[in-house]
Amino acid sequence: MPVDFSELHLLRPELLWLLIPVVIALYSFRQLAKKQSSWQNVISPHLLKFLMVSGEKQKSYLSFWLTGIIACLIIFAISGPTFRQKNVPVFQAENARVILLDLSLSMDATDIKPARIDRARHKIMDLLEKNNEGTVGLVVYAGDAFIISPLTSDANTIAAMVPTLSTSLMPVLGSRPDIAIDKAITLLENAKQPKGQIIWITDGLEKQYIDLIKQSIGNTNHLLSILAIGTEQGAPIPLPDNNGFLKDTAGNIILPKLTANNLKEISQSSNGQYVELSANADDIDFILSILDMDANEDASESDQRISRWIDDGYWISWLILLLMFFKLLRRTDGQMMERL
């Protein structure tokens, strides 16, 4: 393959700025060496050139210039000179998933036995167990959203916290999934993940947040997979210590129902996926397969190889070693001549 030196350039040209302090240092050392010469202190300058030993003067100059050349070559080598390219395979980013868990009070409803939140915790454990590769994070929300775990490859860390997750932990009542979605997106962006998956486990949302969520997801390449837990008939929310059921301000028992239509609207407008809770692992298998299928589609659209410039600076190291060996050899010869 012919070499085309017209393509010669530097991968890290900013490192050439190091030449400035090298030149200043060499100039300063040279000036200092001249001032410290014992002959200059006792002999007139016009006589000094006749009394200095020419061999020593030449060795001094040669050593000085060798040092400067070696320093410049080192800087040039680390700046990454290159003139050729090589096709290298493209490595896909690892799978990144953020689990979004609804911890609003409606998740305590018992239309899904033993309760919606209990089944949600079980599904998260199944998901963590089946997520064999990539990273996973966890965000929970009610009236506000909180990051329980950033993206991590250690699923056991999240699994250890799942049994403690309950609606009673949330300091703010309500349901703000829009805030939680934004936090999940931020986790993926901070991890430099161009395309991740948000797995949203919920029993629904109010209509006023639909457009906010659609806008947030629409501005990204991330996938939104919704696992719906609940029934359209709904069920009351039991209070702690068997003190009855949660009621509204008018004294009526609150009966939260699964708002499937709202969730389906979001999934359809954002190219997401909607799946309802199943007694087996079909729902989890479907959700986990989405990101892998999408990655395979992206891979089939490219040849999975790109051209990279090859850093050829290491070839200059042979010249640097040769000059350093030559300098060391002359220094050794000079010491042997002094002893003789």
pLDDT given at position 149: 94
Phi, psi of 241 (to 5 degrees): 60, 30
For residue 55, name the pLDDT band (cuts at 50, 70, 90): very low
Output the CA–CA distances (angstroms, integers) from residue 121 to 2, 113, 127, 159, 337, in the order listed: 63, 13, 10, 10, 84
pLDDT tens digit sequence for 202-247: 999 999 999 999 999 999 999 999 999 999 999 999 988 778 898 8
pLDDT of residue 334: 57
Give the residue with greater pLDDT, 324 vs 167. 167
User: How much of the chain, in percent, has pLDDT values that exceed 90?
Assistant: 46
| pLDDT tier at 59, thresholds 50, 70, 90 | low
334 versus 198: the higher-pLDDT residue is 198
DSSP 3-state of 206: coil
162-211: per-residue pLDDT in tens?
999 999 999 999 999 999 999 999 999 998 888 899 999 999 999 999 99
pLDDT at 300: 45
| CA neighbours closer than 13 Å in the CB half-sphere of residue 299 | 11
Higher pLDDT among residues 294 and 132, named by residue: 132
Contacts (Cβ under 8 Å, ≥6 apart) of 127: 99, 199, 284, 287, 288
pLDDT at residue 297, rounded to an integer: 52
41 vs 170, higher pLDDT: 170
Q: Tell how strand 135-141 and strand 96-102 pair up.
A: parallel
Domains of the chain with CATH codes: 5-86+308-339 (no CATH), 96-300 (3.40.50.410)
Please give the Cα distance from 236 to 257 (Å, whole number).
9
Q: pTM for this structure?
A: 0.62
